[in-house]
Chains A and B, each alone.
Chain A
Amino acid sequence: NAGVMQNPRHLVRRRGQEARLRCSPMKGHSHVYWYRQLPEEGLKFMVYLQKENIIDESGMPKERFSAEFPKEGPSILRIQQVVRGDSAAYFCASSPENGGTYEQYFGPGTRLTVT
């Protein structure tokens, strides 16, 4: 059973460009979470999605950031008009159910560098 897949692993964008990060959850998992990790810092929750629904986006910046988890295909985190402060590692996690005793399974992350 393949784990959580993320691509690309490394992404370099110039200021003002768009960054598109992909996440394929583990097989059988319908709950997806996105986190951001700045260098030498902890995880910051961004958004929680189920298929075709955003459940909790309380950690997502109001502008330039959006996320989706379509009926078919991977979850996408999109960052428009990137700025240097967006440089970070972005991790996706998935779980079979949300909360309680269910742990989240993490992907290897996408490291975004904005030049």
Chain B
Amino acid sequence: GNSVTQMEGPVTLSEEAFLTINCTYTATGYPSLFWYVQYPGEGLQLLLKATKADDKGSNKGFEATYRKETTSFHLEKGSVQVSDSAVYFCALSERAGNNDMRFGAGTRLTVKP
């Protein structure tokens, strides 16, 4: 079945450091890929998405490129801020029918000033 694997956390960085959170997926077809962010005490918010191979999703300085050849969707940001401290979830969705959204386990990011 479809699944998502994220790098384990927690990740701790200093402000203005470069961020990479790895995400790889397993799917039978051509899924859409998503990154969600969860700030403390809140629900998940969509950060970015990509719906086909080679698409790049971007938002708030974060980017992720849909790489079909490596089945990956790594999240990157060139210069993190303290306000980026949150838990990040990679997810995929392939087809309609039963609930097809699959989430990774989440990666906690802490950015220190």
Contacts and interface: CB of A to CB of B under 8 A. Distances in A.
A43 B89 contact: yes
B40 to A, nearest CB: 11
Given A104-B101, A108-B43, A99 B96 contact: yes
Given A107-B43, A109-B42, A101 B104 contact: no
Nearest to B99: A48
Indicate the size class of the contact surface on chain A: 20 to 34
Contacts, number: 65
Interface of A: 4, 6, 33, 41-43, 45, 48, 55-56, 58, 91, 93, 97-109
25 contacts: A42-B106, A43-B89, A43-B103, A43-B106, A48-B99, A56-B99, A58-B98, A91-B43, A98-B99, A99-B93, A99-B96, A99-B97, A99-B101, A100-B94, A100-B96, A101-B32, A101-B49, A102-B93, A103-B46, A104-B101, A106-B43, A106-B44, A108-B42, A109-B42, A109-B43
